[in-house]
Structure 1
């Protein structure tokens, strides 16, 4: 049976509290690979918790993390933009909070800390890419319709994580030139990377609630299904290496 545990964790630097949800299948004995689930610009929601449960059903521990802090969630795009903006302005803050979630995942008793990965959606995809850029010792990260601009941080050395980018070709927030720039960046940092672009697909293609085709944001069932299966294959390969 899938277990869901609310996790309250704190930043030791400032005492800020965060609320995440850890999900696993208690029919599977022993420690399991852990996978972060990083949220969209609206903050953690049932969507991300559902993805964590889906990962648990695959035999992992899914952790629906919290970038904004306990109680900070948005119900409108305007409120979501206000919550996200400080992290766009300060990518060091973004990296601090995603690393805090990563440590929380690794320290959970159900998790094999030597076998971890992460996925993220939209803003969460940016978080996953920044985690990889930092040189974090994580097996692999997956960006679903993420944003690709580089942070103004002095990262050096090779990217250790394998990187999978699942991209809507018609995404207005990640146009072809930024996708090519990301590929060049990952190549320069000697990452093991893949970018899979889906035709006739915009932003937010994984979310059935996305219904704004006039803004390039809409659910695409086939692309969502294909992307998830590609992610499944990616993590099977990553964790088989250990």
Structure 2
């Protein structure tokens, strides 16, 4: 399962409260609309650094603490002035909207960065496959790339015939266990080692055995890149060493 984002959640709960406590001495001398704008800034900071859920939680807690400390009657959740009611409602609405936009922008930025990293890995393996004079060099490079890419605790390579029926990472990035699909996006890699087969000119050459790290969930994109890296290793092995065919 995915790890619970503890730090962003704590920031969402405590950040608005800390700002309200800091501004409390200025109550009555500092416009409530300015307080609300500062609280929106806290919501944005939480959403950018954490997940969308944390940003939404920050928006809700910001509205509650604004109501509790800065609207009359104080230290209650009641609001007596219509202007304060509008401000609190806008704070919640704007906070939720901005947190969603900030989290989405962070997601797109991470996708762009991750995509560039994945492309670099594939290019590096392709260049090495064309230039290396040893099949072992290519296999070791791809094994290291797979370990980092999929956050594996262990990765090994086996030449030759298939043994057993371990879970398998398929070409489409899915994983099957005993012929049944495995919910990798929720559960991560299966607890036992997963095979990633490699082929050359239509024949089986060997497989990487992938042992996941508990608590990590390799993305579907990362799993697709892993199969592409395996294809590069297969092409190199086919042209450089040509291992014995599987029985």
User: What TM-score results when the alignment is normalised by the length of structure 2?
Assistant: 0.22
TM-score (norm 1): 0.22
Which fold has the larger relative contact order, with Cα–Cα distance below 8 Å and residues 6 or more apart in sequence?
2
Whichever of the two has the greater Rg, that structure is 2
